[in-house]
Structure 1
């Protein structure tokens, strides 16, 4: 369950497999592209709580690999309840405070160039964009208020404290969930367990990008 609020509504994550109730029974490759990159269902209506504004940045190769992985998942029979917006949820949508990712994407825009994988600021920027780090840490990564109710203020990622950690300290933080100052990251709000699955080179590339952003030399 992605959202289950008695006032706002309930939204369950889709079953992506080809089992009973799964979208894999009816989605073809183009449907997956439309859903992942554009945040749209096959009929063109927007998907709720689908971070396609981040997945828009996926390279064609990475998107193809992701779709292949989803299609390779063993079928699981599971039907999920349809999304339901309750009165407050409908009010938030009407006021534009609950915006679908599909409405924030310029769907016919030129595809962003995908840098070659490597320990470079350019590839780090790609990973930051795909990971949607700016959703919580702010457009300039200098800190921000996450959209999730109850989430603490997300600190800036381009300050001197991160430089003081060094690359090894940054990687260790992403691997263990504890920063060099001994502060434990709350996995409810900072998905360090997901970043722990990245390779050392990927994490080093992210660190290189954050350092270049701090020095004002990066390109998003």
Structure 2
């Protein structure tokens, strides 16, 4: 509550200053207040699984979850252009300074060790990942040879600050606190539901209802896909009518093509079952 009051007070001050100094000052001051927020750091007891099997599984999970897509194939950092210009961290270098607890909080909570939030980090998609899977990813990260320097905290330009001030770009820590899990349809669909949340949740939200900007649809669209067409979607990025999807095709090439039939089938079964559940019932089931 105190943190909300403090943030609210900063917003009031920023609004007052905007009257005297104009919109650019308002944008900078409000975004600065948001960027300076500090959060409560939750405890984590996850320990890296550094067994050969754990490392191998962690490498695969990191690819499925999109770690290599943002941070580069060697996880040494990468410049992103969307939704803002920002450099994804050099994860290999961070292994020298981050504890397992630090990594877990960054992955699932979107938090840095100093209690500030990460940005453009899809922590909401990983919030519901099991400890054993996070441990495997940490084991994989620990197996990397540290290369280069750690990436400094980003300095937001005015374009990014305007998105932050207008709530068009939300802190990863805030997203991880507000995302609900996908509708629970029972143990028969648990495997597909779990995969959908962490593999699809970054774009479509963990509830799988789509993005606010409308670019990522509610995954009820899967009802248009036969099983074979869904396989083509996941492995080639093709739409139900055989058209190459501009966003999905690179994801299929870089991430989802590694999925086995026995993984895609439960995912398809869950998404098809979810598409048949009335929206009101989905809300009640997700909260149980």
Give yes or no for contact 1:137–1:146 (8 Å, CA) kept in 2. no
**Counterpart of 1:12 in 2: which secondary structure?**
strand
Whichever structure has more helix as a proportion of its residues is 2
For residue 126 of structure 1, the aligned residue among 194, 215, 238 is 194
**Counterpart of 1:129 in 2: which secondary structure?**
helix
Question: Which entry has the higher C-alpha Rg, 1 or 2?
Answer: 2
Q: Which residue of 1 aligns with 2:94?
A: 23
For residue 85 of structure 1, the aligned residue among 147, 153, 156 is 156
Structure-1 separation of matches of 2:223 and 2:162: 43
Measured after TM superposition, the shift of residue 105 of structure 1 is 3.0
**Counterpart of 1:85 in 2: which secondary structure?**
coil
Give yes or no for contact 1:136–1:145 (8 Å, CA) kept in 2. no
How many residues align structurally?
Answer: 199
Which segments of 5 or more consecutive residues in structure 2 lack a partner in the other structure? 1-77
Task: State yes or no: 1:201 paired with 2:274.
Answer: no
For residue 87 of structure 2, the aligned residue among 4, 7, 12 is 12
**Counterpart of 1:43 in 2: which secondary structure?**
coil
Which segments of 5 or more consecutive residues in structure 1 lack a partner in the other structure? 148-152
**Counterpart of 1:106 in 2: which secondary structure?**
helix
Pick closer, same or farther for the CA change 1:155–1:87 going to 2, 3 Å. Answer: closer
Structure-2 separation of matches of 1:204 and 1:58: 20
Residue pairs, 1:47-196, within 5 angstroms: 47-78=118-149, 80=151, 82-106=153-177, 120-133=188-201, 135-136=203-204, 139=207, 141=209, 144=211, 146=213, 153-159=215-221, 162-163=222-223, 165-187=225-247, 191-193=251-253, 194-196=255-257
Give yes or no for contact 2:107–2:126 (8 Å, CA) kept in 1. yes
TM (norm. structure 2) is 0.58
